[in-house]
Structure 1
Amino acid sequence: MSTRNIRIGVQLQPQHADYAQIRRAAAEAEDLGVDIVFNWDHFYPLYGDPEGKHFECWTMLGAWAEQTSRVEIGALVTCNSYRNPELLADMARTVDHISDGRLILGIGSGWFQKDYDEYGYEFGTAGGRLDQLRDDLPRIEQRWAKLNPAPTRKIPVLIGGGGEKKTLRLVAQHADIWHSFSDVETLQRKLGILREHCSAVGRDPSEIEISVETPRGGDPDKAIDAFLQAGATLFTVGVGGPDYDFTHLKRWLDWRASL
């Protein structure tokens, strides 16, 4: 079990809602006491009406940086394919300053083909997109070192995904947070592989925060022990529009408060 503090995040999925509803949800989430407010980086809804209302990720993060004052903010996760890595580094640095140092750069290689097709990006292959992420992460880090003014802090990098040969290697090399989409048994196995990658690159695996989605409809008291024993300490509740019902999120916050 990790000695890190337990953190609770919420992913406000920017679909099927007017922006006023998203704005209110971000404010309520901060008031409730979450640690991180995430969105996601897509151009169309992932479920429900595929042509439903949807808003862009990074312009929203800039707005959240001004609107909020305590929570960390970020994408769960940015699609690496959609922006030049130097530009993305500058965008992240700028939102970092707007938020007074509360940005997390969540990033992944991308997967939702409709986004690519509709916006004119080359979809390619999963392996090719991971290779591009491999090449782009050092460029992002190098650009941060050149920017004036520099970021306010070492911007935490969250990498999402569970590919054992490529993604977990990138986590070992670059990530401060690894977000897993797996169940607890798979998480335990992949953490063993992550430790092997960390050993290979000379990284202490305890430096990497382990992040998971909360089980859908799960009771924290019943769902949590195995994830905690595996080493997860960041638990994120996904909430969709337009109503942004926080009932499930409140159960997780109550559980955290009872520790």
Structure 2
Amino acid sequence: MTSRPVRIAVQIQPQHASYERMRDAVREAEDLGVDVIFTWDHFFPLNGDADGKHFECWTTLAAWAEQTSRVQLGALVTCNGYRNPDLLADMARTVDHISGGRLILGIGSGWAQRDFDSYGFEFGSTGSRLDDLAAALPRIESRWAALNPPPTGPMPILIGGEGEQKTLRMVAEHASIWHSFSGPDKLAHKLQVLRSHCDAVGRDLDEIEVSVGVGGRGREGRSAGDPEVEGQPLLDLGARLFTHGANGPDYDFTVLRRWIAWRDALNG
């Protein structure tokens, strides 16, 4: 099993809060010691008032890149269908430079039909969106190689999703981080599938950091506040990046602090 350290991330969800409050939450999260701060890539709130306050992903990331000095930053995850892949590559490269090399390109195929419809993008099917993502990833990597200046270094690519035939194959081919919301039983199975894809493309599974969403609404019956209960079984399977979601307008980090303390105890 990989010996990489345990890391803690927070997704500061850009909904129901003023930008000023969101900016304060980013500052607080970095001061608390999180390793990664994520936003998400949607155009409307995902819970609560469906027409409540909301802010766009990549302009937000550029601002966070200037505001912060230590944490990695990214989208959990960018929707491939909302931007031309070459443009997205250039945007990511630019934010990477603004941040001094701290950007993670989190990307997925997208699922929120209201976003697609309201902004005039073709929703298609689950399969077509995954096919579009598979076609986009080589274009993104090629664009990075052509840009002047290029990214500051190898750009970490995070791919989100659990689909066994297409998504996990893309993870094996392109990703340095794989993110899911799997509980222990599902994660064990998905990692077996991912290992088979890695074997097929000649890659070591240990090269991929396994990321899981935790601490939210008792997913799959798990404790939402106790990292020993929720985190340890996932850790034993190989998860190393644990992401807690924080919702506006308050961005309560009480549970997040428990995960940070757990990380510190494990990493020594």
With the shorter chain as reference, the TM-score category is over 0.9
Please give the root-mean-square deviation of Cα atoms over the aligned residues, in Å: 0.7
Provide the rounded CA distance (Å) in 2 between the counterparts of 1:231 and 1:258: 17
2:248 counterpart residue number = 241
Q: CA deviation at 1:193?
A: 0.3
Provide the rounded CA distance (Å) in 2 between the counterparts of 1:258 and 1:228: 13
2:262 counterpart residue number = 255
Describe the SS at the equivalent of 1:258: helix
TM (norm. structure 2) is: 0.95
Describe the SS at the equivalent of 2:148: coil
* Worse overlay, 204-213 or 1-10: 1-10
Provide the rounded CA distance (Å) in 2 between the counterparts of 1:215 and 1:189: 21
Provide the rounded CA distance (Å) in 2 between the counterparts of 1:23 and 1:225: 31
1:168 counterpart residue number = 168
1:218 counterpart residue number = 225
Letter of the 1:12 counterpart: I
Q: Aligned ranges for residues 87-98 of structure 1 at < 5 Å?
A: 87-98=87-98
* Worse overlay, 219-228 or 141-150: 219-228
Contact 1:212–1:236 (Cα < 8 Å) also in 2: yes
Letter of the 1:207 counterpart: E
Unaligned runs of 5+ in 1: none
2:24 paired with 1:17? no
Q: CA deviation at 1:231?
A: 0.3
2:52 counterpart residue number = 52
1:177 counterpart residue number = 177
Unaligned runs of 5+ in 2: 217-223
Provide the rounded CA distance (Å) in 2 between the counterparts of 1:235 and 1:72: 14
Describe the SS at the equivalent of 2:261: helix
Question: What is the number of equivalent residue pairs in this alignment?
Answer: 259
Contact 2:215–2:245 (Cα < 8 Å) also in 1: no
TM (norm. structure 1) is: 0.99
Q: CA deviation at 1:181?
A: 1.5
2:71 paired with 1:64? no
Provide the rounded CA distance (Å) in 2 between the counterparts of 1:200 and 1:111: 28
| 4+ runs deviating over 6 angstroms | none
Letter of the 1:87 counterpart: L
Provide the rounded CA distance (Å) in 2 between the counterparts of 1:19 and 1:29: 15
Letter of the 1:208 counterpart: I
